Structure 1
Amino acid sequence: MTYNKHILWAFTAALATGWVLSNDEGCYYGTVMKHSCNWTCMLLTLQWPGSFCIGLTNKTICKIPLTIQNWTIHGLWPMHTGHCCNCWPIFHSHLQEIEPELTQLWPSLIKGKHFFNFWREEWIKHGTCAGCDGAMGSPLLYFQAAVKLRKLFDINSVLESSGIKASCEVSYKYDDISKALTSLLGDNFDLQCVTDSKGREAWIQLKIHLSRNQTIGCPTEKQDEAFYNLAWYKSPGHPCPKNTTIFFVPINYDNPHEPCN
């Protein structure tokens, strides 16, 4: 396997800063990169801030900045069956070039959690696997790719053009939301919901299926059971039900964990 110059530089930096772990952790360079590069598909996961706090067990830790008014990025996740490596460091300086965009499109909605800490976690968990692809072969390239994809998929405009707007009074059929998104995404997406305190289904996340080259869709033969199991792994909610209506709740900055009460 041939590694690009970004990865070679990153490994050198990791050695210099002591970030490479022992072989017991699976973090020797050759082993890790071969293991974590064995993926074909990705998920771009977008989250709706209006519903985000509903899914939290601790209702006191959620805070939605007033500047956040649209879908935000939860992560760009290679779908692989192994684990990524925490031996590829990321520093705040790596992202300064795009920090204004990240602050708006990929914010932390957890009170007291610095945005960079959220980005660092996503890089360690997912970006280090994505980084073996040349187009995402550094922290900056990885986050630039996510921002570009988020801008490409203008979910709010598609929903509004179909008459789907955030509301506490109006709910929508699964098929109506799905039909609206199909014009932009085809059938390459999953809808994820959380249940609020009154038993209502609230749309929280949209998971968009992408190929490794960042184009929409994933090869049919790769969309197996393992892919879908990983797609929901450690998610805060569940697949949106098709037999009941779904609420697309508004953002409530003052009472984010009970946006419709």
Structure 2
Amino acid sequence: MSYDKHILWACTAALLTGWVLAFDNGHCSGIVTRPLCNWTCMQLTLQWPGSFCIGLNNKTICKIPETVRNWTIHGLWPMHTGYCCNCWPVFHSHLQEIEPELTQLWPSLIKGKHFFFFWREEWIKHGTCAGSEETMGSPLLYFQAAVKLRKLFDIDSVLESSGIKTSCDVSYKHDDIRGALTPLFGNNFDLQCVTDREGREAWIQLKIHLFRNQTLGCTKQEQEEVLNTLAWFNSPGHPCPKNTTIFYVPINYENPHEPCN
């Protein structure tokens, strides 16, 4: 289906001014009165591929490309209370300039799912709201921002230099991991874990708290107020417990859903 470019511009203009129009059968209609662009906090969520498949209900759909060896991007998410406009399209051609970097840093870990389809979902869910900020005001700028932040926050090097390495036998205290990351992030991050079938807590995600201008920080109260209204925002996993040790499991390409078995 092709859409009139003037209709798409109208929807996009409405989004950028803080008003969202429903896009229905080629028409913008149904004005939503709640502005979705008035957000101040965002999260860069990084995921560890070694633990990713543990958290999936359907274990057969997981596949970790052998080129993936480091922490990857799950998403760059403005924290807002609503669903963004789905009439601001992203096309594969928009991202060709940075596709090699996205393929390495923001891959899909789902079998048979083309990377672009994953990126398109993230743009529709989150990028269209991020686009109200000038520095992320197009699909290319949004994904470039995420890649730039991922490179800035070189978590792999920080962990290695702190002696925190992947293992199925050695686990780490919550405070040890936080202590290694605090010089890089301050207190502006959360650790998320999943529980494997043996009851081990496996570190799966790192959520980095950012202001709208992509600098570290955002008031904890404001984050919690927004997150409490967003059931879909919460990604798989739970806060890593402080009363037990945490495993940083290795990537198992042949058996990704049970990396330690």
What TM-score comes out, normalization by structure 1 length?
0.88
- 1:38 — aligned with what? 38
**Alignment partner of 1:133 is 2:130:** no
Identify, as 1 or 2, the structure richer in helix: 1
Identify, as 1 or 2, the structure richer in strand: 2
Counterpart contact for 2:79–2:223, Cα < 8 Å: no
**Alignment partner of 1:213 is 2:213:** yes
Counterpart pick for 1:12 among 5, 9, 13: 9
- 1:59 — aligned with what? 59
Report SS of the residue matched to 2:35: helix
Measure how far apart 1:156 and its partner are. 1.0
Cα deviation, 1:55-77, whole Å, max 9, x if unaligned, reads: 00111010000000000000000
Gaps of 5+ in 1: 1-7
CA distance in 2: counterparts of 1:10 and 1:94, whole angstroms? 20
- Paired positions, count: 248
CA distance in 1: counterparts of 2:59 and 2:211, whole angstroms? 36
CA distance in 2: counterparts of 1:160 and 1:9, whole angstroms? 51
Measure how far apart 1:196 and its partner are. 0.3
Root-mean-square deviation (CA), in Å?
A: 2.6
Counterpart contact for 1:11–1:29, Cα < 8 Å: no
**CA 1:158 to 1:10, structure 2 compared with 1: closer, same or farther past 3 Å?**
farther
- 2:77 — aligned with what? 77
Gaps of 5+ in 2: 13-20
**Alignment partner of 1:108 is 2:105:** no
**Alignment partner of 1:149 is 2:149:** yes
Q: What is the one-letter code of the residue matched to 2:117?
A: N
Counterpart contact for 1:192–1:206, Cα < 8 Å: yes
Cα deviation, 1:93-149, whole Å, max 9, x if unaligned, reads: 000000000000000000000000000000000000000111000000000000000
Q: What is the one-letter code of the residue matched to 2:104?
A: Q
**CA 1:117 to 1:232, structure 2 compared with 1: closer, same or farther past 3 Å?**
closer
Counterpart contact for 1:167–1:249, Cα < 8 Å: yes
Counterpart contact for 1:171–1:245, Cα < 8 Å: yes
Measure how far apart 1:22 and its partner are. 4.3
CA distance in 2: counterparts of 1:133 and 1:224, whole angstroms? 22
- 2:15 — aligned with what? none
**CA 1:227 to 1:21, structure 2 compared with 1: closer, same or farther past 3 Å?**
closer
Identity, % of aligned positions: 77
Report SS of the residue matched to 1:53: helix
Cα deviation, 1:189-219, whole Å, max 9, x if unaligned, reads: 0100000010000000000000000001114
Report SS of the residue matched to 1:74: strand
Q: What is the one-letter code of the residue matched to 1:43?
A: Q
Measure how far apart 1:233 and its partner are. 3.6
What are the equivalent positions in structure 2 for 1:227-238 lying under 5 Å apart? 227=227, 230=230, 233-238=233-238
**Alignment partner of 1:92 is 2:89:** no
Q: What is the one-letter code of the residue matched to 2:35?
A: H
**CA 1:102 to 1:188, structure 2 compared with 1: closer, same or farther past 3 Å?**
same
Q: What is the one-letter code of the residue matched to 2:61?
A: I
CA distance in 2: counterparts of 1:250 and 1:37, whole angstroms? 39
